[in-house]
Amino acid sequence: MKLRNNRIGFSPAASVILLMVAATILLSGCARTLGYKKVPVTFRRAALRPDLDRMTLRIGPFMQKSPRFQAGVDIKHMIQRKCETNRIFSEVTLNTDILEFDTDEMTPREALDRLKEKDWLAEYPDEDADFMVAGVVVFDSRDRSGYEADWVTNRYGYAYPRRVYVDRLGYTFALGIVLVDLSTGDVVMEKLYEDDGYAEGITDEISIFFDVAGTRIDECMDSIQGPKVRTKRYLLYR
């Protein structure tokens, strides 16, 4: 009778994966034994400047294209509330400069470039603030409601198409922001966000505007203050 020796082999890639899994399990067990616990940790990365919380901000001119309401004024107040809530600057003030522009003649990118090219020190020689934020905002909405086919199933298990009316509001949004260091006149940060989409079941353009604008302002202010990082660390506990 002949005996056969069956051997089980692993490819090099599979061996590396198994080794990593074993090492992870071993480290986790050692951490528990030594009194370490894996806990969620939230912190912020470095801010744009280390001493921003001791500096002042002036919310300056905004160029807007919004046919039915003052989007530039709303953006200014949203930036002010965000800075005050998160204590990004020691003091935040705003002016009332709102400039209209035609998107058929100038894109948001071109309007933002025009703001970047301004001589800020010559235009605001008596400004006491350390920084100034200015920008461009575009918002428009259009009705995209209508009928569309939706497949439904009756009690006998047969599927058939049915016309369903859907409330849908399309929107176009653009927000460009520059942060200017008034001690040198240099633009130290530039952001441009552009969104083109629609919302179902919402026919209020004001709600859509504040929802989209709030998300983008949070992202922009986080890049100034330092973005939040959520991770997990092993901490010693007793």
- Evaluate whether residue 2 is within a structural domain: no
What tokens appear for 179 in the block? Answer: 């942060």
Out of 40-44, 131-135, 180-184, pick the least confident. 40-44
What three-state secondary structure class fits 5?
coil
What percent of the chain stands above pLDDT 70? 73
Indicate the angle between helix axes 205-225 and 71-86, nearest 10 degrees: 40
What three-state secondary structure class fits 98?
strand
Average per-residue pLDDT for the chain: 79
Q: Which of 16, 170, 141, 120 is nearest to 66 (CA)?
A: 141
Range of the structural domain that residue 33 is part of: 13-43+230-236
What is the C-alpha to C-alpha distance for residues 176 and 206, in angstroms, rounded to an integer? 19
Report strand pairing: 56-65 vs 98-100. parallel
pLDDT digits (tens, 9 = 90+) for 29-80: 555 555 556 666 665 566 677 788 888 999 988 888 877 778 888 999 999 9
- Evaluate whether residue 145 is within a structural domain: yes
Is the domain of 118 the same as that of 196?
Answer: yes
Is the domain of 103 the same as that of 168?
Answer: yes
Is the domain of 35 the same as that of 103?
Answer: no
Is the domain of 73 the same as that of 29?
Answer: no
Model confidence at 88: pLDDT above 70: yes
Query: How much is the pTM?
Result: 0.70
* C-beta of residue 76 within 8 angstroms of C-beta of residue 213: no
What is the C-alpha to C-alpha distance for residues 105 and 59, in angstroms, rounded to an integer? 26
Is the domain of 35 the same as that of 121?
Answer: no
Is the domain of 119 the same as that of 192?
Answer: yes
Q: Say which CATH number the domain at 155 has.
A: 3.40.50
Q: What is the mean pLDDT of residues 180-195?
A: 91
Model confidence at 194: pLDDT above 90: yes
Is the domain of 25 the same as that of 138?
Answer: no
With cut-offs at 50, 70 and 90, classify the pLDDT of residue 144.
Answer: confident
Give the H or E element holding residue 197.
strand 186-200
pLDDT value at residue 231: 67
Q: What is the DSSP letter of 122?
A: H
pLDDT value at residue 45: 63
Model confidence at 3: pLDDT above 50: no
Is the domain of 80 the same as that of 31?
Answer: no
Tokens 């912190």 belong to 43
Tell me phi and psi for residue 172, to 5 degrees.
-125, 125
What three-state secondary structure class fits 157?
coil
What is the C-alpha to C-alpha distance for residues 48 and 51, in angstroms, rounded to an integer? 9
What is the C-alpha to C-alpha distance for residues 199 and 130, in angstroms, rounded to an integer? 39
pLDDT value at residue 4: 45
* C-beta of residue 228 within 8 angstroms of C-beta of residue 216: no
pLDDT value at residue 128: 86
Is the domain of 178 the same as that of 62?
Answer: yes
What tokens appear for 196 in the block? Answer: 């083109």
Amino acid of residue 134 = A
Is the domain of 65 the same as that of 30?
Answer: no
Strand partners, 38: 234
pLDDT value at residue 33: 55
**Which of residues 233 and 220 earns the better pLDDT score?**
220
For residue 47, give Cα distances in angstroms to 4, 66, 91, 116, 184.
67, 32, 17, 22, 19
Our count of domains for the chain comes to 2
